[in-house]
Structure formats: structure tokens, C-alpha cells
Amino acid sequence: EQINKGKYEHYMQKEIHEQPESLTTTMRGRLIRGGSCKAKTVLLGGLKDHLKTIRRSRRIVFIGCGTSYNAALAARPILEELSGVPVTMEIASDLLDRQGPIYREDTAVFVSQSGETADTLHALEYALENGALCVGITNTVGSVIARKTHCGVHINAGCEIGVASTKAYTSQIVVMAILALAIGGDTISNQERREAIIDGLFDLPNKIRDVLKLDQEMKDLAKLLIAEQSLLVFGRGYNYATALEGALKVKEVALMHSEGILAGEMKHGPLALVDENLPIVVIATRDACFSKQQSVIQQLHARKGRLIVMCSKGDAASVCSGGACRVIEVSYVEDCLQPVVNVVPLQLLAYHLTVLRGYNVDQPRNLAKSVTTQ
């Protein structure tokens, strides 16, 4: 039943639309809504005997490739905030190329949908040799990465067939947010924040249902962009990863050049590309970086940039006050969960662009779902 396309034309489309359900499955049994005297908390069975070691580690290193790397990048800020442990990021192949330092006191977290990616697996073997505690976050029970890591969490997103990962990405972020809550532990000082995140997680499937209603709007936008050569996506903070992942989706399935850009780096190069022709998506939903993103939008307007701004519901008029732009309005969720919502319109955009451009959406040329060679 799971590998049936049902009412959908393509697996990627089906997998985008089933995210309310896949996220519900990912969270099942892991969030505990306390009664009046019991605080809300989380439970990750596969990690409970290792949490103390993780909390005491010198740093947490996230290791992955492609979309899985982007998911880890999206979760990094909340993990840093709640755990207080430094978190660094490694693309698996680059860690191996550099033979970068991994220590016994490190916790190395391997993120992989398939659990079989060769680069990630080799990085795991390298981290094991160096004595780090190795944690796996995979979607495939019994996969080699799940078996070789010391402990881990399955994301339970269900079978993903489309080569471009969609529902696994959102489930990975959610699992890593729960991981951050588990490592952070309950303290009086972070109780309010924890409860807001847990409430946000409970509400997330509904918020995704909401954002999926943008399907037609994203199809209309895809029609406008169909003949473009290039698309830039600007993000920062929690949504730097969303910019990278949105651009990766467009690149891999719609076969259009696309680049995710850290908005804080705009003036150090990307600004040179801005003119009235190049379409630019700017992610400017409400969080601590919002005013900085507003200023980015103003600077892009000043250079006559062709803007598509993603903002929180109700912010359309204020984000576009400085010039013409198209707006994608999304529901507000707790900041660290916003990337889960924000990526969905970009997945839809990539999907529609691909279909309209006449390319194979489920099996893009030259790409494989699981890359088992180095």
C-alpha cells in the first residue's frame, strides 16, 4: 500500500502531500503531554541509555550528505541552544577528504534516509575507529548505518520512493528537534521554551496541512519561472538550511540552476548577481533574524531585484513595502520548527517546475536514491 501512488501522479507529489501523516508517525510515542502536575517531555527509546554520555561530550558533530546534511543544518541551532554543547557540521565526503579530527569525547551523529550512503558509511567507520560515540538517524530499519552505530533513532517517515527526498527531510528535522529536547533535559530555566517546542510539534501536522494549500499558488509561480536559467534562495538562521534545501530540490528535479545563499553573506558576492531578471526567493518568516531579513529585502529592492518573499501570515504588506514583490505567506510555528513548514512551498515549487518543464520528477537524470559507491 505504501508504494502505491494512490491518487497522485508522481511519488514526489505523494510524498510531499503525505507529510502531515509521516510527521505524525515520526512523533508517535515520543512526545508526552503531561497532566496537570507532569511537565511535557520527550522519549527516545533508542537513546535513553546514552543521553548522559552525549551531554558530557566535548562536541556533537553532524555528518551526512545532500538533503540529510541540510536537515542536520536546520536542527543545529536548537541543538546548540538546548544542549549547550558545541555542534559542528560535516559533509561526509569532505570529512573523509580532510581526515578531519574526530575524538573519543565527540558524539558523531550520522543522518541518512537510506542508511546506506557510501560516504556517510565510510565516515561512520572512520568515527568508530577514532572512538567517538556514534548515533544514527535513519529511515531504514536494519540498514548498515543503523546497525553499525552505537545507538540511534529511526525517523519512521515511511518508505520514500522519489529520488528527491521530501518527507524524510521534514521527519529528520523533527527527530533532531526531539533529540535536542532529550539532550537538553528539563531545567526550570528552559521549561517555557521546551513546552512551546513540544506544543509546536503537536501542532505541526496541522500547520503542514495549512501550507499544503499553497499547491495551486506554487504551480502558478512555477509557470512564471518555467523558462528561467537560475533561481536564488536567500535564508539565514533557522532557515539557511531551508534555502539550501529549496535550491537543492529545484536543481535536482527541475534541472534548473539554483543556489541557496546565506543572506548574511549577500554583500560579499551574491549582490553582484542582482538585477531585474534573476528571480530571488527570500525567506523572511518571523524569528530573531526577521529585522535583518527586512533589511536584506530593502537592499534587494534598491537594486531592482525580482523578489519572491516567503513571510509569516499577516506580514505581506510590511515585507513588500519597499517595492514590488510576490509573496508566499506561511503559518507561524515556533522558530526552530519553522524550517519544517517553510520547505514545503519550495518542495511544491520544485515539483511543479519539473512537471511543467517536462522532466522526470521521480527519477532525475544522473541521480540515484541511494548512492552506495564513493
With CB under 6 A as the contact rule, the residue among 22, 26, 57, 112 that binds ligand G6P is 112
Cβ–Cβ < 8 Å for 155, 185:
no
- Show contacts of 141-145: CB within 8 Å, 24+ apart: 143/112, 143/114, 143/115, 143/116, 144/115, 144/116, 145/110, 145/112, 145/115, 145/116, 145/117, 145/120, 145/121
Please identify, among the stretches 55-63, 107-115, 315-323, 354-362, the one whose residues bind ligand G6P according to the rule CB under 6 A.
Answer: 107-115
**C-alpha cell of residue 56:** 558530557
Please identify, among the stretches 26-34, 101-109, 161-169, 343-351, the one whose residues bind ligand G6P according to the rule CB under 6 A.
Answer: 161-169
The dihedral of CA 144, 4, 247, 238: what is its sign?
negative
Length of the chain equals 374
If binding is defined by CB under 6 A, does position 233 make contact with ligand G6P? no
The binding track of 119-138 with respect to ligand G6P, each residue x by CB under 6 A or -, is: -x------------------
With CB under 6 A as the contact rule, the residue among 57, 114, 239, 312 that binds ligand G6P is 114
Residues 165-194 that bind ligand G6P (CB under 6 A): 165
Question: Which of 16, 164 has the CB closer to ligand G6P?
Answer: 164
Please identify, among the stretches 12-20, 110-118, 300-308, 321-329, the one whose residues bind ligand G6P according to the rule CB under 6 A.
Answer: 110-118
If binding is defined by CB under 6 A, does position 294 make contact with ligand G6P? no
Pairing assessment for the beta strands 31-32 and 230-235 based on DSSP bridges: unpaired
How many beta carbons lie within 10 A of that of residue 358, not counting itself? 8
Query: Residues in contact with ligand G6P, total (CB under 6 A)?
Result: 16
With CB under 6 A as the contact rule, the residue among 68, 242, 312, 338 that binds ligand G6P is 68
3-state secondary structure (DSSP) of residue 301: helix
The C-alpha torsion from 312 through 313 and 315 to 319, rounded to 10°, is 60
Residues that bind ligand G6P (CB under 6 A): 65-68, 112-114, 117, 120, 163-165, 367, 369-371
